[in-house]
């Protein structure tokens, strides 16, 4: 079957609705992944989907393909991806898929293909699924697989609350931007004993505010205003599949998630002294400095939740964190990202220390930091652009460490004693991600001007594209 090969990305599939994806193509994906699972000895799967307009239809088509291949399926319906991963353990199903394009615009949809507990297909596995679809290398089951529906949310809530009980009654704002998390997060937090103020938690598949991205400045600025108006202890927001979070403290301070990695590291190291903490190359220097201060071992690795999960099978880090808001509490929970567990983990830390979030943040080193900036660059040009940057930065900053080896993976990071910046290309869409920071304002302003001028030299970057996020931070 002819399909767009660019849909098959490094750790999931993302395609345009009615162009790259339709129910027929999705059924073929189900046949391919179903066959792939059977060849690995997996005959049972779980399927969940987010609230995008096409997700229920695509979920049905995928299940149809699985059943054709002889795979038995438990459909857990509308849920977040962390709940999907958790359900693998609860239902004892290694295989399955989450139907979602995460934070991509609403005209996209996609799939995370599970192949083991907390593990999804990455590079070579995705290439194999592409080959199987192109060649229609499928094996029909001797008999069709069975389909069952099961509501597992309450069991999931019970497990999270048992692991992370709260004594304090936190006042919490949840702003879901009309996405999937609005149907899940408030219920969990209320059952945990929180007073929950809901903002835009009605599920509207068309995402009237645009597809929510917790790294987008406008979204967290709105959350900040809501927290201050409600005199709340904390504010939470999530992306559409709920594996990433955005946080605002009681003073309305926007907490970028690499700072939250450092805070979580303090919490984890209290229970796991000397443990490794893994973080991605986009993270602030605050992270390794804090890990070392509290007796842990910092380990930096390339960006991408599946790459980090895969590497952690070797590294055995107690926790993993990303700037984008993916957190994995591997030593205490499972080796996957779950925005609701992360939310509860933060509240549990504040509960047991007696600190407000703002007070907790005062423990950390201080850097002036940009938000996560996204700039459009076509999929067929972004990788070559990265290869040009390393030599340019080595010449401009001979005193710096320029990291463009396997630790960076798909980008270039420059580290100076008092500052850093990184440029990388996304594995999920046609854009670059940029982040920079410094201890002093003058150095921050210098980096901002330099990066802005440097990137404007490349015609491959479209500064007016609608996919851009926070690009005003470079002005």
* Dist. CA 253–CA 358, nearest whole Å: 8
Which pLDDT value is given to residue 313? Answer: 86
Task: Look at residue 73 and give its three-state secondary structure.
Answer: strand
* Dist. CA 225–CA 242, nearest whole Å: 22
Strands, DSSP E only, in 370-430?
A: 373-377, 401-403, 411-416, 419-425
Q: The domain 5-151 is classified under which CATH number: 3.40.50.2000, 3.30.465.10, 3.40.120.10, 3.30.470.10?
A: 3.40.120.10
CATH 3.40.50.720 fits 368-474, yes or no: no
Cβ neighbours of 231 (radius 10 Å): 9
Burial string for 275-307 (b: 16+ CB within 10 Å, else e) reads bbbbbbbbbbbbbbebbeebebbbbbbbbbbbb
As annotated, the active-site residues are 102
Tens of pLDDT along the chain (475 residues)? 999 999 999 889 999 999 999 999 999 999 999 999 999 999 999 999 999 999 999 999 999 999 999 999 999 999 999 999 999 999 999 999 999 999 888 999 999 999 999 999 988 999 999 999 999 999 999 999 999 999 999 999 999 999 999 999 999 999 999 999 999 999 999 999 999 999 999 999 999 998 898 988 899 999 999 999 999 999 999 999 999 999 999 999 999 899 999 999 999 999 999 999 999 998 999 999 999 999 999 999 988 777 888 888 899 999 999 988 899 999 999 989 999 999 999 999 999 999 999 999 999 999 999 988 999 999 999 999 999 999 999 999 999 999 998 888 889 999 999 999 999 998 878 999 999 999 999 999 999 999 999 999 999 999 999 899 999 999 8
Which pLDDT value is given to residue 48? Answer: 98
Note whether 168-253 and 368-474 share their fold: no
Q: Are strands 431-438 and 419-425 parallel, antiparallel or unpaired?
A: antiparallel
Which pLDDT value is given to residue 77? Answer: 98
The pTM (predicted TM-score) of the whole model is 0.90
Residue 104 contacts residue 54 (beta carbons within 8 Å):
no
Q: Output phi, psi for 320, to 5 deg.
A: -130, 140
Which pLDDT value is given to residue 427? Answer: 82
CATH 3.40.950.10 fits 257-361, yes or no: no
- CATH architecture of the domain formed by 168-253: 3-Layer(aba) Sandwich (3.40)
Which pLDDT value is given to residue 353? Answer: 97
Ranges of each domain in the chain:
5-151, 168-253, 257-361, 368-474
Q: Which residues pair with 422 in a beta bridge?
A: 413, 435
pLDDT digits (tens, 9 = 90+) for 267-307: 999 999 999 999 999 899 999 999 999 999 999 998 877 78
* Dist. CA 467–CA 457, nearest whole Å: 20
């Amino acid at each position: 079957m002819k399909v767009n090969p660019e849909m098959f990305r490094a750790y999931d599939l993302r395609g345009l609705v009615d162009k790259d994806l339709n129910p027929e193509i999705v059924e073929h994906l189900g046949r391919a992944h179903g066959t792939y699972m059977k060849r690995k000895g997996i005959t049972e799967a779980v399927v969940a989907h987010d609230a995008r307009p096409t997700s229920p239809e695509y979920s049905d088509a995928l299940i149809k393909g699985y059943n054709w291949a002889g795979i038995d399926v438990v459909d857990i319906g509308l849920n977040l991806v962390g709940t999907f991963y958790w359900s693998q353990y609860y239902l004892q199903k290694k295989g399955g898929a989450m139907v979602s394009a995460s934070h991509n615009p609403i005209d996209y949809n996609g799939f995370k293909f599970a192949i083991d507990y907390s593990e999804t297909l990455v590079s070579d596995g995705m290439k194999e699924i592409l080959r199987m679809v192109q060649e229609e290398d499928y094996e029909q089951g001797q008999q069709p697989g069975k389909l069952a529906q099961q509501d597992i949310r309450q069991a999931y809530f019970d497990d999270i609350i048992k692991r992370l009980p709260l004594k304090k009654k936190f006042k919490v704002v949840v702003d879901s931007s009309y996405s999937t998390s609005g149907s899940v997060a408030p219920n969990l937090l209320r059952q945990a004993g929180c007073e929950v103020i809901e903002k835009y938690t009605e599920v509207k598949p068309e995402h009237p505010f645009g597809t929510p991205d917790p790294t987008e400045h406008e979204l967290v600025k709105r959350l900040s205003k809501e927290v201050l108006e409600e005199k709340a202890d904390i504010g939470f927001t999530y992306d559409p599949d709920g594996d990433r979070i955005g946080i605002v403290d009681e003073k309305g301070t926007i907490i970028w998630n690499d700072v939250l990695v450092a805070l979580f590291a303090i919490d984890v190291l209290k229970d796991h002294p000397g443990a490794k903490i893994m973080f991605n190359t986009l993270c602030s220097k605050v992270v390794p400095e804090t890990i070392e201060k509290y007796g842990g071992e910092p380990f930096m690795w390339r960006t991408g939740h599946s790459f980090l999960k895969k590497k952690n099978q070797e590294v055995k880090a107690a926790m993993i964190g990303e700037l984008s808001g993916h957190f994995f509490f591997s030593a205490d929970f499972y080796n996957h990202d779950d925005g609701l567990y992360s939310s509860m983990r933060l509240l549990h830390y504040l509960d047991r220390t007696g600190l407000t979030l703002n007070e907790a943040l005062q423990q950390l080193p201080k850097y002036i930091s940009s938000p996560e900036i996204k700039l459009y660059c076509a999929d067929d040009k972004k990788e070559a652009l990265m290869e040009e940057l390393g030599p340019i930065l080595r010449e401009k900053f001979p005193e710096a460490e320029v990291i463009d080896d396997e630790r960076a993976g798909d980008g270039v990071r420059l580290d100076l004693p008092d500052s850093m910046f990184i440029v990388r290309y996304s594995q999920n869409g046609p854009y670059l991600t940029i982040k920079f920071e410094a201890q002093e304002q003058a150095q921050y302003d210098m980096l901002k001007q330099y990066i802005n001028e440097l990137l404007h030299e490349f015609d491959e970057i479209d500064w007016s594209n609608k996919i851009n996020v926070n690009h005003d931070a470079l002005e």
